[in-house]
Each structure stands twice: as C-alpha cells, then as structure tokens.
Amino acid sequence: MVDHLANTEINTQRIAAVENCFGASGQPLAVPGRVLLGEGILTKECRKKPKPRIFFLFNDILVYGSIVINKRKYNSQHIIPLEDVTLETLPDTLQMKNRWMIKTSKKSFVVSAASLTERKEWISHLEECIRHLLTKMGRQPATEHAAPWIPDKATDICMRCTQTKFSTLTRRHHCRKCGFVVCAECSRQRFLMPRLSPKPLRVCNLCYLQLLTEKKKEAEVEHRQLEPICSAVPGYEPSSGDDSDKSDDDRADQWPADTEFYISAVSWSSFHS
C-alpha cells in the first residue's frame, strides 16, 4: 500500500504542506518513495518540563518539532531515521500517563499520548514501519542507544553524590552517558563519544571512569592486533591524538506543577487507513 501511494498527488501535497509549516528553518522532506502516513500531537518529556510536540510519521523517518501555530507553523525540526529507532513501553507516573520511550543512537526521549488507544496506535504504526524498513534494508534492529535525560524536576539533589542540593546558584547538569542529573563537582570531566558528538561531552565521574576502562580495553585489543605489524616493520609506531572542548548546560527554569500540557485535541491521524 505504501509503495502504491509513494508517487500519488495527494501524498505529494501532504508532504509539501508539512514542509511549508516548518518553513525555511526545516529540511526538505520530499524524496522519491517517501510516504506521509500520519501525524499527531504528543507530549515530550523535556529537560525542564513536558511540552507538546507535533510528530509526523513517514515510512522511513519520524519528524517532530515545536508548535508555533498548529496546522500552520512549526519550528525546531528534528528528523529521526526509523532504522535507528527502538521503542519501549513505560509505566504511568503521577504526572504522565500512556508513556513510551523512543530510543536512538544519538538521542532517546520519552513521549506520552492523550489516551491508551492513541499510544497503541502510535506504537503499532511505528513498529510496522520499522520492521518493513529493516527488512527492506537487510538490517538488524539497533542495539546501542543514547541514555534519556532525567528531567530537572525529578530530583532536588545530585543523583551521584546525593549530598549537593540544587538551587538558583547551584546548577543542574546532565551526564551524557547515563542521563543523570548531577552537580558540577560530580561532572567535571569531558569524554569524546563520537556516536553522540564530534566534541567531548560532559559526563559524571562514575561514567568517566567506566569510559576510561572501556577505552583502555579497546586500546589493549588494538595493540595486540598491531603487534604482528610492529614486529614486521622496523620503526613502526601507531599514531595517537587527543582533543578537548568545553560545553555547558542551559539554566534550568522553575515551572508550575499544575501546568496543562495537552493543549490540543488533535490525536493520531492516519491518512491512509
């Protein structure tokens, strides 16, 4: 059915409408064989507070962005290749219901639907697209995923030392390896994780030690593999390099606990059901 709709005029018009809503800030979405299957508003658990986001499901990518004017203008476009996506259903919390996690190698985050039925529909459509795409590409499901960030409001103290209390002057930071909310003293290190960024990223002290151990083991394996070459070629020495950079986090804001996040009645809409 998707292949049949790929080159239809109605599909072309719908993709063009999405591109127009994102405007110049968005990337082109019309490519041969791509089909827009549906859209809906989900609540994304962000660092500072849950926020409504518009999501578009295509047969090969998932696109989401911030809502400026629903059905008319969106920004902050994100494009996720479906072959990199793994889904995980999560239990309800007091604040959020009908939750599940979208996991990728570069970024993982939690979303929630307005109803259990809507969550089932989203997950069903996503899993079907992922399964079809992986079969077509001859690939296995992704196994390595980025850790989701724990929301700022989830804790008032550092999740590593459990001693430092956060305040206006004592800022929250996030470890890019485990996603924990940590204080500056517990996250002074940076580590290069090419899967996430070309620059060294902030990590907590515990993850830093673990990453160093893993790097040391990899170096030992590489050294053993190079030993035959080194012994065969006089004067051969493998090169090494180092790089560093600094990054910081935005200041966390305080948000009312009773804020309403489901600002629209728009739910999952399947265009080709």
Task: For residue 158, give the nearest of 179, 188, 186 by alpha carbon.
Answer: 186
Supply the pLDDT for residue 219. 85
Region for residue 98 given its phi and psi (left: phi exceeds 0; alpha: psi -120 to 50; beta: otherwise): left
- pLDDT, tens digit, for every residue of 127-147? 999 999 999 999 998 888 999
Residues 26 and 19 sit within 8 Å (Cβ to Cβ): yes
Mean pLDDT to the nearest integer, 6-33: 93
Q: For residues 71-90, b (16+ Cβ closer than 10 Å) or e, as one string?
A: eeebeebbebebbbbbeeeb
**How many C-beta atoms surround the C-beta of residue 156 within 10 A?**
12
Reduce the secondary structure of 182-241 to three states and give it as a string.
Answer: ECCCCCCEEECCCCCCCCCEEECHHHHHHHHHHHHHHHHHHHHHHHHHHHHCCCCCCCCC
The DSSP output letter for 16 is H
Residue 264 pLDDT grade (very low, low, confident, very high; cuts 50, 70, 90): very low
CA gap 226, 95 in Å, rounded: 54
The DSSP output letter for 26 is S
Is the confidence at residue 242, as pLDDT, over 60? no
Q: What percent of the chain has pLDDT over 90?
A: 66
Is the confidence at residue 248, as pLDDT, over 70? no
Supply the pLDDT for residue 245. 45
Supply the pLDDT for residue 161. 95
Is the confidence at residue 104, as pLDDT, over 60? yes
Q: Which residue has the higher pLDDT, 177 or 265?
A: 177
CATH number of 149-219: 3.30.40.10
Q: How far is CA 73 from the centre of its chain?
A: 22
pTM for this model (two decimals): 0.75
Residue 210 pLDDT grade (very low, low, confident, very high; cuts 50, 70, 90): very high
Supply the pLDDT for residue 252. 42
Is the confidence at residue 209, as pLDDT, over 80? yes
Range in 183-197, 218-232, 241-255 with the lowest mean pLDDT: 241-255
Give the domain ranges of the chain: 3-137, 149-219
Task: For residue 99, give the nearest of 90, 87, 107 by alpha carbon.
Answer: 90
In sequence order, the 6+-apart residues with CB closer than 8 A to the CB of 210 are: 177
Mean pLDDT to the nearest integer, 147-157: 92
Range in 20-24, 40-44, 247-251 with the lowest mean pLDDT: 247-251
Report the chain's mean pLDDT, rounded to a whole number. 85
Give me the numbers of helices (H) and strands (E) for the chain, helices first please: 4, 12
The CATH class given to the 3-137 domain equals mainly beta
Please report, to the nearest 10 degrees, the dihedral formed by the alpha carbons of residues 213, 216, 222, 223 taken in order: -150
Count CA atoms closer than 13 A to 4's CA, side-chain side: 2
Supply the pLDDT for residue 249. 47
Region for residue 235 given its phi and psi (left: phi exceeds 0; alpha: psi -120 to 50; beta: otherwise): left
